[in-house]
Amino acid sequence: MAKKQKKPAGNTIALNKKAKFDYLLQDKLEAGIVLLGWEVKSLRAGKMQLTDTYVIFQNGEAWLVGAQISPLATVSTHYVVEPNRSRKLLMHEKELAKLRQATEQKGYTVVATAMYWKQHLVKVEVALGKGKQLHDKRETEKERDWNRQKQRLFQTDTR
C-alpha cells in the first residue's frame, strides 16, 4: 500500500518561512505564474518547495528561480521534466518597474514568500526584502523564544 502525501491546509501550496528569517520583508505583491500541466498536478499533490527562491528580471520580464516542483511518478514517464526550471511570473508593468528599480539598490532582493490557490489559478506572493545582518537574526530568534516562553507561562497560569 502506498503512503498518502500530506496536503497543505487551505489554499496554501507552499510557504517560504526562511525568507522571514533572512530578510526584512517590505512590499508584498501577488503575481501569476506560468506552469506546465504536470506541474499543476504536482502542486495539487503538495510536491512544492519554495526555500531559497528568488526573482530575477530579464528582458522586461520577471522569472522565479529556485522553486522546486517534484514530478509525480506517473508523469515523469511521459515527459522529460525539469523540477528546478525558471518559471515566468505574470505582473503588471508598473509592478515590474517598481520591483526592478528597488532591486537595483544595494542590499535589496525580491523573494517568493508563498504560493497558493486563488480559485483555480496558482498565485505567488513575492516580497521586496533587504538582507538582515547577523545581529538582526539573533534579535529575531530571541524575540521568537521570548514569545514562546510567554505563551507557555500564560497556559500554565490559566489551568
Query: Is residue 35 assigned to a domain?
Result: yes
CA 146 from centre of chain: 26
Gyration radius from the chain CA atoms: 18
pLDDT in tens, 13-43: 888 888 887 888 888 999 999 998 888 888 8
Position 10 scores a pLDDT of: 63
Look up the CATH number of the domain holding residue 114.
2.40.280.10
Give the pLDDT score at 2: 47
Write down the pTM of the prediction: 0.73
Domain that holds residue 32: 12-132
CA distance 55 to 71: 22
Task: Identify the pLDDT of residue 93.
Answer: 92
- How many angstroms from the chain centroid is the CA of residue 93? 21
Q: How high is the pLDDT of residue 158?
A: 63
- In this prediction, residue 51 carries a pLDDT of 87
pLDDT given at position 142: 85
Cell digits for 106?
A: 544595494
> 143 lies in a domain?
no
Residue 30 to residues 92, 104, 114, 133, 153: CA-CA distances in angstroms? 10, 20, 10, 27, 38
How many domains does the chain contain in total?
Answer: 1
Tell whether the torsion through CA atoms of 95, 98, 104 and 105 is positive or negative: negative
Q: Which residues of the chain have pLDDT under 50?
A: 1-8
Contacts of 90 (CB under 8 A, 6+ apart): 31, 32, 33, 34
Does any domain span residue 95?
Answer: yes
What DSSP string runs through 105-133? STTEEEEEEEEEEETTEEEEEEEEEEEPP
Name the grid cell of 85. 526550471
